[in-house]
Amino acid sequence: MTLAGNVAIDGRALWNDIIETARFGGTPKGGVRRLTLTGEDRQVRDWFVATTTALGCSVHHDSMGNQFARLPGTDDSLPPITIGSHLDTQPTGGKFDGIIGVLGGIAVLRALRESGHSTRHPIEIINWTNEEGSRFAPAMLSSGVFAGVFTEAEAMAKTDRDGVRFGDALDAIGYRGEEMCGQHPTSAYFELHIEQGPILEAEDKTIGIVTGVQGMRWYEATITGRDSHAGTTPMPMRADALLVAAQIIIAVNEVALAHAPDGLGTVGLVENRPNSRNVVPGEVFLTLEFRHPDDTVLDAMEADFRTRLEALCADAPVTVDWARTWDSPAVHFDPACVEAVRQAAESFGYPAREIVSGAGHDAAYMAKITPTAMIFVPCAGGLSHNEEESATEADIAAGANVLLRAVLATDARLAG
């Protein structure tokens, strides 16, 4: 145990929670497949309810399925200080992405409960629905509704690749609540997360003091050519959609490299149709994204890609329909909350550095409506969204220590 004043974080109990929750959707390779609004998601949500209720919390969920576990404060009329992240994973996800933000929050509640320490503000842990966006795009869908970025109606109408509606999937696991999403006050928001990148590990830092989140844009494209026989269609007469898709993938990479070192470009999903070994592909669907800390550079990257795409289409016997499906501008976190994280790391003597998040997080939307900050801890090799994702018990406990002390400092500051 490590003391924060008279409050103790139990790092071993936190680690045991990580191992226990990895059972829900656990894979043979040691990772986790827990897609949002599936049976596995329902199981871990049920665990969240049971665990936080046992700590003396009241628990409810809103109309988007977001879960809230509340430990009362001495002045329970005050808006809560919130701690959150998500319990859903990628199709081949790891044990740590997202969930340590929820479990770290539970560790804070456990520390407060066991020490008898009372905060003036209520403390709430939030599990956000569909943070990953791997089943229902875009990512951070429910925190986006909470912050007013998306309407609930458009979120409920989202469909997965099998045509299942978000609203129907939410009803199927029994987690649609009566409180309207967004009708829930907050005083501040903190999120603990693995870095999902290599910087902290490479620099031997224990804590990342996250100052903001880089901008990111998602797009979808459909390339339409013509199915034809692979053995009888001469090369000059082909309308090969997959060939053009390959050129688009190269163009995305070239755009990112042209805006180095911070520009990033990725094609993450490709569906080739009819996907037969002896048919020239007639249609390809793909997703692509660009990221950069500066929104003006993102504008330039999008314009650069558009120019390259127009040149490709001019010379190819196919049509390309593409559209931006998600735009998350760069975010700058609240200076006072960031400073609370900085001072907490310093008080423990943890090696720390400022860092901008390259990945999207629910904190990016929460920052629009409440003072927000994030805490990063290292992950091995910077690897995430992978079954081999790994972080150490000591680093996660350190992150929870910083989370605890930053929350207590914020409670004292706001009470003062």
| Binding-site residue positions | 86, 97, 132, 193, 385
Helix axes 335-348, 393-415, angle to 10 degrees: 130
Label residues 275-285 b or e (16+ Cβ within 10 Å = b). Answer: eeeebbbbbbb
Q: How far is CA 235 from CA 80, 230, 273, 275, in A?
A: 65, 9, 19, 18
Per-residue tokens: 117: 């320490």
DSSP sequence for 108-125? HHHHHHHHT---SS-EEE
Element containing residue 42 per DSSP (H, E): helix 39-54
What gap in Å lies between CA 24 and CA 291, rounded to an integer? Answer: 32
Return binding residues for Zn(2+).
Answer: 86, 97, 132, 193, 385
What gap in Å lies between CA 239 and CA 242, rounded to an integer? Answer: 9
Helix (H, G, I), strand (E, B) or coil at 259: coil
Amino acid at 181: C
Residue 98 neighbours by CB under 8 Å, 6+ apart: 85, 86, 87, 88, 89, 131, 132, 193
Q: Are 366 and 148 in contact (CB under 8 A)?
A: no
Q: How far is CA 58 from CA 10, 128, 261, in A?
A: 22, 17, 47
What gap in Å lies between CA 93 and CA 85, rounded to an integer? Answer: 15
What gap in Å lies between CA 276 and CA 228, rounded to an integer? Answer: 11
Q: Are 279 and 322 in contact (CB under 8 A)?
A: no
The residue with tokens 């329902």 is 42
What gap in Å lies between CA 76 and CA 185, rounded to an integer? Answer: 12
Residue 410 neighbours by CB under 8 Å, 6+ apart: 81, 187, 188, 190, 336, 337, 340, 371
- Long-range contacts of range 305-308, CB-CB < 8 Å, 24 or more positions apart? 305/251, 305/252, 305/255, 305/265, 308/251, 308/254, 308/255
Per-residue tokens: 408: 């207590």
